[in-house]
């Protein structure tokens, strides 16, 4: 599966809120680093991260653009509440090995009426 095809599938599964199916798109030693948070390392930890997040907020990813360059795909997205972000996916042999995401965590927490941590 080419990177762009995999990201389309990733968005479809993400929008169903299926953490188990989503985790199967990652290598066992994959890294998911949403830069507003600490990196999550390993497919099982990524699965647990998605389970927690899907239980915490109703998230929807609307594709604005997907770009593909070799083993990389870039996803520009928005959600129905107006949040926008960008994800970079390194895909090796049809699975995600590295994902980095950039989005405004404070806006996300406020939009979903979630607690804002004191730092």
Q: What is the distance between the alpha carbons of residues 84 and 100, in angstroms, rounded to a whole number? A: 14
Per-residue pLDDT tens over the stretch 6-49? 999 999 999 999 999 999 999 999 999 999 999 999 999 999 99
* Domain 3-111 bears CATH identifier 3.40.50.300: no
Dihedral angle of Cα 75, 100, 95, 79, to the nearest 10 degrees:
-40
| pTM (2 d.p.) | 0.92
Burial class (CB in 10 A: 0-12, 13-18, 19+), 76: middle
Percent of all residues in the chain with a pLDDT value above 90, rounded to a whole number: 83
Q: How sure is the predictor about 119, in pLDDT bands with cuts at 50, 70 and 90?
A: low
Of 1, 105, 2, 4, residue with least CA distance to 57: 105
In what helix (H) or strand (E) does residue 19 lie, and over which residues does it extend?
helix 19-23
């Amino acid at each position: 599966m080419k990177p762009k095809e995999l990201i389309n599938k990733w968005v479809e599964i993400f929008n169903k809120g299926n953490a188990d199916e989503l985790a199967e798109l990652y290598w066992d030693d994959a890294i998911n680093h949403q830069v507003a948070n600490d990196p999550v390392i390993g497919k099982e930890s990524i699965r647990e991260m998605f389970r927690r997040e899907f239980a915490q907020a109703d998230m929807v990813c609307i594709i604005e653009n997907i770009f593909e360059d070799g083993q990389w795909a870039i996803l520009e997205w928005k959600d129905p509440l107006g949040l926008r972000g960008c994800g970079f996916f390194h895909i090796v042999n049809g699975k995600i090995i590295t994902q980095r995401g950039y989005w405004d965590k404070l806006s996300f927490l406020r939009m979903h009426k979630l607690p804002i941590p004191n730092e």
